A and B are shown apart, each in its own frame.
Chain A
Amino acid sequence: MTALELNAEVFAAETFDSQIVILNLIEGTYYALGGAAVEAWPLISTGQDLGHVIEELSRVHRVPLDAVEDAVRPFSKILVGEGILRPAAVSAPVRLTALLPAFAAPTFEKHSDMQDLLTLDPIHDVDPEKGWPVV
């Protein structure tokens, strides 16, 4: 069983404008998830077994299981790779609510042009010997 949860120390997520908007709270990197991700997100980010989520999507949209699996598993790996989701304990299964008229493969957008903001106020260097600041 594979279960994941939102890495809430670093990311915040909101449903907005028919997408899931996710922000990296440290760097400002902006993500927008669409398609079936909007339906799957409440389950996939709260410890639901990924296999169960795939079965639910297949059930509510009457789409072959392998077609959903081929779309959702790679998508979940992207979210894990970005650090948005992390492994979690499996939670009790819940039903998925269909929000779209038909199954649409999950989509993923990433906007990460905030890095140069940090150069104005850069990440500090700390000397573990000196325990800075020192007068």
Chain B
Amino acid sequence: MPLDSGEALWDFFEDWRQSNGPANAVYTARFGKGRIDLAFYGSHLAEIYQRALLGSQDEYPPQLLDVCIVDGAEVLPLPKLEWQVRDFGLKRRVPGWSNEDRSVYLLRSEKGVAVADWRHRRAYIWISGHGAIPWWERAAPLRWLFDDLARHSKMATLHAAVLARNHRAVVIAGRGGTGKSTLALACVEQGMDYLSDDYCLLDTRRGAACMALYGTAKMNSASADRAGKDILFLNETSPGALTASADVVAILLPRFAAELRIERVSPGLALKQIAPSTVAQSEASGPDLLRQLVTLANAAPAYRFEMPPDPQVCAGAVLTLLEGGTVRLS
């Protein structure tokens, strides 16, 4: 029977789940101070999705979301979806099938679909097959879903690298290609704690704090089919380098230069660097997200950070900032 609305799609998955057997695998992931319970229906999904996620640290964290991920080729054929071109927007979220309580997503790369019910705090993700999951989804799984979960949890997902020392964090903001990942890994090599090289949680309810979402980092690769990036699973190779959360004490706006130079800049310039890439990539864009980014830009001093080719020199300056020392300003 064709499905012609978000409600019908939701009912389809709810009915299936009640009549289906147990999942192939389950996993509990950390989300801020809460948890997400994932159930994988398909023999290869767990190894793909959970590898980048972080396990829960608390003994009994509150459940924020219950997620079922289904391999369509192996487990469940999907009936025809009767949506129209006018139902779609410019991102994954399908506005014509969504409302405040329920979000439906079209997952183009995975040839899949997802529906999340925010009253029941449950989501179903159907993908055509595990082979369709793109590399960026393996590095930052379900980020598109986490955007909305963060919004419903009064937080936001932030596009930035974040490094910390003694629970004091530096946010390194900027679009892709500005050296965030390279700098983040250099900082880890110098003993700083790693929170993110791309996406993290931002909580501005009391000041500005960042929380880790993933245990992955990316580094440049000669492998052309991955857009020049390899995924490093720091949660496997360097688990001691990861930290769960830290308060923001500085914002760095990096750009490549011949010599190291650090220059204090206005909150407005920080917002101009932070906001566009976060907003453009977020499924939860809206006034609340902008307000939270404004709070972040006001929460800590911002610096233009001109980086010479040696990332270790740059990392040394970041460490000095984090330890409260004086970095020679231009």
Interface set of A (CB-CB < 8 Å, partner B): 8, 12-14, 16-17, 19, 21, 23-30, 32, 111, 113-114, 117-118, 120-124, 126, 128, 131-135
A24 → B minimal CB distance (Å): 8
Is there a chain A Cβ closer than 8 Å to B20's Cβ? Answer: no
Q: Which residues of B contact A17 (CB under 8 A)?
A: 266-268, 271, 297
Given A16-B298, A23-B275, 14 additional A-B pairs, CB 8 A:
A16-B268, A24-B279, A26-B90, A114-B175, A114-B277, A117-B277, A124-B88, A131-B2, A132-B81, A133-B78, A133-B81, A133-B111, A133-B128, A135-B78
Give residues 277-315 of B contacting A (CB, 8 Å).
Answer: 277-281, 285-287, 289-291, 294, 297-298
Q: Per DSSP, are chain A's interface residues mostly helix, strand or loop, or mixed?
A: loop
The residue on B at minimum CB distance from A15 is B294
**What residues of A have a CB within 8 angstroms of the CB of B84 in the complex?**
128
A95–chain B nearest beta-carbon distance, Å: 25
Within the assembled complex, what's the spacing in Å between the Cα atoms of A6 and B90?
Answer: 20
Closest partner residue, chain B, to A16 (CB atom)? B294
Give Cα A26–Cα B95 distance, bound, in whole angstroms: 13
Residues of B within 8 A of A134 (CB): 78, 80-81
Contact for A28 among B82, B109, B276, CB less than 8 A? B276
19 contacts between A and B (CB under 8 A): A12-B286, A16-B267, A21-B268, A21-B271, A21-B275, A21-B290, A26-B90, A26-B280, A26-B285, A28-B276, A114-B276, A117-B175, A117-B176, A123-B90, A126-B106, A133-B81, A133-B112, A133-B128, A135-B73
Q: How far is the CB of B82 from chain A (nearest CB, A)?
A: 6
What range describes how many residues of B lie at the interface? 35 or more
Does B257 count as interface, using CB distance less than 8 angstroms?
Answer: no
Among candidates A16, A21, A26, A120, residue contacting B91 with C-beta atoms closer than 8 Å: A26
Task: Give Cα A123 to B109, complex, Å.
Answer: 11
B85 & A16 in contact (Cβ 8 Å cutoff):
no
Taking CB as reference atom, which chain B residue is nearest A29? B276
A interface footprint on B102-136 (CB within 8 Å = 1, 0 otherwise): 00001011011100000000000000100000001
> A29: which B residues are within 8 A, CB to CB?
276
- For residue B83, CB closer than 8 A to chain A, the reply is yes
Please, which residue of chain A has its CB at the minimum distance from the CB of B86?
Answer: A128
Complex alpha-carbon distance, A19 and B90, angstroms: 28
Contact yes or no, A30 B275, CB < 8 A: yes
Bound state CA distance, A118 and B175, in angstroms? 12
User: Which residues of the other chain, B, contact A19 by a CB distance below 8 angstroms?
Assistant: 268
Residues A25 and B175 in contact in the complex (CB < 8 Å), given A131-B82, A131-B83, A133-B81: no
Please measure, in the bound complex, the distance between the C-alpha atom of A120 and the C-alpha atom of B290, giving whole angstroms: 23
Residue B142 lies at the interface, judged by CB distance under 8 Å to chain A: no
